[in-house]
Amino acid sequence: LISLDASCGKKKAKKGAKDKGMFTSENLKCLVCQSLVEEFNYAIDKVDPKKKIETGTFRLNPDGTQNRVVVPYARSESHLMEVVDSVCKNFEDYAQAKSKASGKPMIIRITTPEGNMNPQMGEVDMVPDDDLNTRLKFYCENIVEDQEDDIMQIFSKQIAHPDYELCNKRSGLCKDLMPPQEEYNFENDEL
C-alpha cells in the first residue's frame, strides 16, 4: 500500500513538471504582452468620455494668446503615462493556468478589475509557480520599459488589433499571433 502511494506521488510530480514546461520564458512573455494590451484597453475604457484635459504650451504668443487645446482625457499622453506607470502592478493578480478545453497554457486574472472572482476560473486548471507569479510582473515591467514609445503610439489612437500590433509586429514577442480575419461581406460583390 505504501509503495502504491509513493508511485502515485511520482506521477503527480511528473505532471506538475510537464505543466511547468508549458510556460517557457518566450511563451510567458507573449501571454503577458497580450494581457498587457487587455489591461491598457480596460484602463482606457473605464475613463469617463466626458473628461477632458488641456494640452499645449504655456508660452505666450506675441499677440498674448496661448496655444492650448482641450482633448479627451482617455488616450491623452497624460492618461497613457499614468497607465504605463501603474499597469504592471495588476500582474500581481494574475496566475498561470492551463485551459481545460484546449490544454493550452494561459495566464488568467484571479479577480476581475472590480474585485470579484474571475468567472473564467472554472474553465482552467491552475498551474502552481515556485516564484508566486512574480515573473509575470517582471516580464510586464520589461515589456513596458522596452516598448514604451510603441505603447504610447499604439494606444494614443484606436486601432483595430492593438495586441497584434504590439505583441507581434513591433516587439516580436508573439510570432504566432495573427490578426483576426476580417469577415467578407458578399452583398457588395459585383457579379
Condensed to tens digits (0 to 9), the pLDDT of residues 130-170 reads 877 789 999 999 999 999 999 999 999 989 899 999 999 99
- CA distances, 99 to each of 11, 107, 126, 133, 136 (Å): 20, 10, 9, 17, 18
Q: What's residue 184's pLDDT?
A: 57
pLDDT of residue 35 exceeding 70, the answer is yes
pLDDT tens digit sequence for 41-51: 999 999 999 99
Q: Which of 31, 70, 54, 73 is nearest to 174 (CA)?
A: 31
Helix (H, G, I), strand (E, B) or coil at 81: helix
Q: What's residue 187's pLDDT?
A: 62
pLDDT of residue 14 exceeding 60, the answer is no
In the structure, what pLDDT confidence band is assigned to residue 99 with cuts at 50, 70 and 90?
Answer: very high
In the structure, what pLDDT confidence band is assigned to residue 63 with cuts at 50, 70 and 90?
Answer: confident
In the structure, what pLDDT confidence band is assigned to residue 20 with cuts at 50, 70 and 90?
Answer: low
Window from 27-31, 36-40, 129-133, 166-170 with minimum mean pLDDT: 129-133
pLDDT of residue 120 exceeding 50, the answer is yes
Q: What's residue 80's pLDDT?
A: 95
Q: What's residue 54's pLDDT?
A: 84
Q: What's residue 25's pLDDT?
A: 92
Please give the Cα distance from 14 to 21 (Å, whole number).
11
Looking at per-residue pLDDT, the higher value among 119 and 64 belongs to 119
Q: Round the average pLDDT of the chain to a whole number and report it.
A: 84
- For the record, the C-alpha cell of 69 comes out as 487645446
Query: DSSP string covering 31-75, please?
Result: HHHHHHHHHHHHHHHTS-TT-EEEEEEEEEPTTS-EEEEEEESTT
